Structures are given as C-alpha cells and as structure tokens.
Amino acid sequence: MIMCRVFSEQRASHVPDLMCERNVFILFLSSLRIQEVYRGSRTACSVEGLHFNTEYRARVKAFNRVGYSAPSGVVRLHTAERT
C-alpha cells in the first residue's frame, strides 16, 4: 500500500462540475497503462492492489470552478520486494 499526499481518497468516473467551490485532485498511476485511480478533494489517499517490486509513475491534475490545471511532473514510485 502506498500513502500519497495531495491526492484524493474518493473515486469517481463522471465529468466534473466546473462550478464547484472546492479543489478536486485527480491521481493517475501507471505501470503498463495510465489509469485514473482517485478523484476528490482530500489531500491524502491510499493506493491498494499494487504489485511487488514494480515501478509506477504518478501524475496529478486538479480542477475547480476556474478549470483544469496542467498535469504535474511525473513522480516515480517503486513498491517493495516480496519478503
């Protein structure tokens, strides 16, 4: 399990309401393919179901009533080896 800061804990797949009053963060994670794993306003999340000894790349986008941000830079994460 990976704990991430500045990400959400709530998953959603709907198109956002851009008139919302709060910031919403979207976490994308990839090893073989890019996948949206979280969307919401919380600033921390847990990502479960990851494989041992695997590198993942993470990016974040945000949106609010003004619109979408550009994606963040890529952060490389590596899960632990199986013990």
Q: Which of 23, 12, 16 is nearest to 64 (CA)?
A: 23
pLDDT value, residue 21: 61
> b/e map of 14-52 (b: 16 or more CB within 10 Å)?
eeeeeeeeeebbbbbbeeeeeeebbbbeeeebebeeeee
Residue 4 has pLDDT above 80, yes or no: no
Question: Of residues 16 and 73, which shows the higher confidence score?
Answer: 73
Give the pLDDT confidence of 9-65 residue by residue, as tens digits: 333 434 444 445 689 999 999 988 999 999 999 878 888 889 999 999 999 999 998
Q: For residue 45, what are the domain limits? A: 2-68
Phi, psi of 37 (to 5 degrees): -110, -25
pLDDT value, residue 43: 78
pLDDT value, residue 32: 86
Asked whether residue 7 is domain-assigned, the answer is yes
CATH number of the domain to which 36 belongs: 2.60.40.10
Number of domains in the chain: 1
Asked whether residue 76 is domain-assigned, the answer is no
